[in-house]
A and B are shown apart, each in its own frame.
Chain A
Amino acid sequence: MNFVSKLFNKRANWAIPYAIFLAMFVALPLVLIVVYAFQDSNGAFSLENFTKFVTQPEAVNTFIYSIGIALITTILCILLGYPAAWILSNRKLNSSEVMVVLFILPMWINILVRTLATVALFDFLKFPLGEGALIFGMVYNFLPFMIYPIYNTLKKMDHSLIEAAEDLGATPIEVFRKVTIPLSMPGVMSGIMMVFMPTISTFAIAELLTMNNVKLFGTTIQENINNGMWNYGAALSLIMLIIIGITSLFSDGDEQTDSDSLI
């Protein structure tokens, strides 16, 4: 009893249950992905999963194709979302807070319900489900995730800097190019993370929007796991993890500050 109360009195020890939980449900599972990736189906060490990936043109093509789709989606989201975020954060152009709520509202609705709605719209308009629908649908789904972080950084931006630039004789375009855009880069970066990552790893959205005609890398992974090819699936997951690790190097965890201010 004495031992327990001593443990409890030192408050740093309160993290112990969570530390155990993290080791069990976060660290160990990731280690297992690596272990499975480097094993053949008999459990012996092997590189065959990776050689299989490199030598199979279909898997590599899907991989490159998915990165392409994710890039296009992300770029379209920036092009459409940046102006919207800028207008929303500009007091002269938009004074309504309701407008901001309307733009972030879709983030709170189940992603499959949203995709379902998009499929319904395309059906209604007799728009063919396929590659075009896929990109449209992804932009639809992820645009709020681009607008919100950019809006947040623009809103928090120090406006005296803009006034200073104006006082020093910069034209509005120069102000925008040399002050506003550089200052909003952290928001754009976390927007890219919030759009690029889910688009590269998605599978259900693609299946729904293309009637399973277009295959993305996420679908390939899911199919392999589903069909019992755990080792190959784990290797593909590891490849995706590496891509995501590289992407996240470009934005040092900015999305943390954004996700906690959602409410």
Chain B
Amino acid sequence: MKKFFAQLYLWTLLALLYAPIIIIGIFSFTESKVLGNWTGFSTKLYTSLFSGGTHHSLLSAIQNTLSIALIAAIASTLLGTVAAIGIFNMRGRKKQVINFLNDIPMLNPDIITGISLFLLFVSLGISQGYTTVVLAHIAFCTPYVVLNVMPRLQQMNPNIYEAALDLGATPFQALRKIIIPEIRPGMISGFILAFTLSIDDFAVTLFTKGNEGLETLSTYIYADARKGGLTPELRPLSTIIFAVVLLLLIIINVRAKRAAKRKQAM
């Protein structure tokens, strides 16, 4: 009985949480300009989302979002991994200072990060656009990579690295063949986190994108909503995003479960 009410509570909450996206999903299959107006089944919004034409700006916003996220995630994974190895080998006051600085972007609200970077670019006289957005994204993504790689370094047996050097490996070889394989899982989860954080970002992008017409998905939606009417193509787009994220999470979880089972079997 207790279990029944517990499950009922969970399902009610889930129904409320998912109601918006379900409504959007349903109405992505009708042509009506106004949401909530069912004008018969149609996949026209899906085809027009990808055919460009009048919604070309939405397509280019999606492309910008993905390319910025990819560049920022790769750059912050490289920068953050090298930094984590360095910080791991640091001692004393210097280590405290760099760890403190590394925490700031994670604790700062987006709007503060955005405004502070905006002021930086303005005072340096750098014109804002694609490059400044990428730099800003690297700035707030890298701390998470450091945070994901660090525990791997701490778990690693330091003797293996020393042994490799004793056996004649150069530091670079030891890095490539000993350290990188050990910390790879941390690098991968850091990369995924950086990628999703970049895609999700709105405030930092808004303040660093300048006014040359660069839009990401977030800023596009914002600008669209401010104009009043929302582009109907956003309905199929939200549905697709939701489906992709759901699929990815399920895959990640199933794989994690399998890996755990394999470990148990060993």
Within 8 A of B (CB), among A1-51: 8-19, 21-23, 25-30, 32-33, 36
Q: Assess the B139–A25 pair: CB atoms within 8 A.
A: yes
B102 near A: Cβ within 8 Å?
yes
Chain A residues within 8 Å of B192, by CB: 263
Chain B residues within 8 Å of A87, by CB: 6-7, 9-10
Q: How far is the CB of A70 from chain B (nearest CB, A)?
A: 11
Chain B residues within 8 Å of A260, by CB: 144, 147-148, 151, 189
A168 near B: Cβ within 8 Å?
no
Given contacts A18-B86, A25-B117, contact A117 B7 (CB under 8 A): no
Closest to B80 in A: A18
A73 near B: Cβ within 8 Å?
no
Please give the number of chain B residues whose Cβ is less than 8 angstroms from any Cβ of chain A in the complex.
Answer: 94
Across the interface, B249 reaches (CB within 8 A) one of A11, A105, A111, namely A105
Convert A117-149 into 0s and 1s, putting 1 for each residue whose CB lies closer than 8 angstroms to a CB of B.
111110110000000000000001001100000
Q: How far is the CB of B134 from chain A (nearest CB, A)?
A: 12
- How would you classify the secondary structure of chain A's contact residues: helix, strand, loop or mixed? helix
Chain A interface size band reads 35 or more
Q: Assess the A29–B101 pair: CB atoms within 8 A.
A: no
Across the interface, A237 reaches (CB within 8 A) one of B85, B111, B142, B196, namely B111
Given contacts A25-B139, A110-B199, A123-B36, contact A207 B226 (CB under 8 A): yes
Across the interface, B202 reaches (CB within 8 A) one of A13, A204, A244, namely A204
A83 near B: Cβ within 8 Å?
yes
How far apart sit A25 and B204, CA to CA, in the bound complex (Å)? 13
Q: Assess the A112–B109 pair: CB atoms within 8 A.
A: no
How far apart sit A155 and B237, CA to CA, in the bound complex (Å)? 35
Chain A residues within 8 Å of B202, by CB: 110-112, 204
Closest to A80 in B: B13
Q: Assess the A33–B122 pair: CB atoms within 8 A.
A: no
Q: Assess the A120–B111 pair: CB atoms within 8 A.
A: no
Convert A98-125 into 0s and 1s, putting 1 for each residue whose CB lies closer than 8 angstroms to a CB of B.
0101111110111111101111110110
Chain A residues within 8 Å of B136, by CB: 25
A188 near B: Cβ within 8 Å?
no
Q: How far is the CB of A258 from chain B (nearest CB, A)?
A: 11
A208 near B: Cβ within 8 Å?
yes
Q: Assess the A36–B117 pair: CB atoms within 8 A.
A: no
Question: Max chain A CB contacts within 10 Å: which of B10, B19, B144?
Answer: B10
Across the interface, A99 reaches (CB within 8 A) one of B10, B105, B217, B248, namely B10
Q: Assess the A15–B83 pair: CB atoms within 8 A.
A: yes
Across the interface, A240 reaches (CB within 8 A) one of B13, B88, B106, B109, namely B109
How far apart sit A9 and B7, CA to CA, in the bound complex (Å)? 58
Question: Max chain B CB contacts within 10 Å: which of A102, A105, A117?
Answer: A117
Q: Assess the B82–A18 pair: CB atoms within 8 A.
A: yes
Q: How far is the CB of A181 from chain B (nearest CB, A)?
A: 18
Chain B residues within 8 Å of A123, by CB: 35-36
Q: Assess the B111–A201 pair: CB atoms within 8 A.
A: yes
- How would you classify the secondary structure of chain B's contact residues: helix, strand, loop or mixed? helix
Q: How far is the CB of B66 from chain A (nearest CB, A)?
A: 12
Across the interface, A120 reaches (CB within 8 A) one of B20, B146, B203, namely B20
Chain A residues within 8 Å of B120, by CB: 25, 28-29, 32
Chain B residues within 8 Å of A114, by CB: 20-21
Chain A residues within 8 Å of B119, by CB: 29, 32-33, 36, 230, 234
Chain A residues within 8 Å of B144, by CB: 259-260
* New A-B contacts (18) at CB < 8 Å, excluding given A110-B200, A120-B23, A201-B111: A12-B91, A15-B87, A18-B79, A94-B6, A99-B10, A105-B245, A124-B23, A198-B109, A204-B203, A207-B222, A207-B226, A221-B111, A230-B122, A233-B115, A237-B112, A237-B116, A259-B144, A263-B189
8 closest A-B pairs by beta carbon, nearest first, are: A15-B86, A14-B86, A18-B83, A29-B116, A117-B20, A201-B109, A93-B6, A121-B20
Name B's A-contacting residues (CB within 8 A): 2-3, 6-7, 9-10, 13-14, 16-17, 19-21, 23-24, 27, 35-36, 79-80, 82-83, 85-91, 98, 101-113, 115-120, 122-123, 135-136, 138-139, 142, 144, 146-148, 151, 171-172, 189, 192-193, 196, 199-200, 202-203, 206-207, 217-218, 221-222, 225-226, 230, 234-235, 237-238, 241-242, 245-246, 248-250, 252-253, 257
Name A's B-contacting residues (CB within 8 A): 8-19, 21-23, 25-30, 32-33, 36, 80, 83-84, 87-88, 90, 92-94, 97, 99, 101-106, 108-114, 116-121, 123-124, 140, 143-144, 197-198, 200-204, 207-208, 212, 218, 221-222, 225, 230, 233-234, 237, 240-241, 244, 248, 253, 255-256, 259-260, 262-263
12 residue pairs of the A-B complex, CB under 8 angstroms, read A8-B171, A15-B98, A19-B83, A93-B2, A99-B14, A108-B245, A113-B242, A117-B24, A197-B109, A230-B119, A256-B106, A259-B147
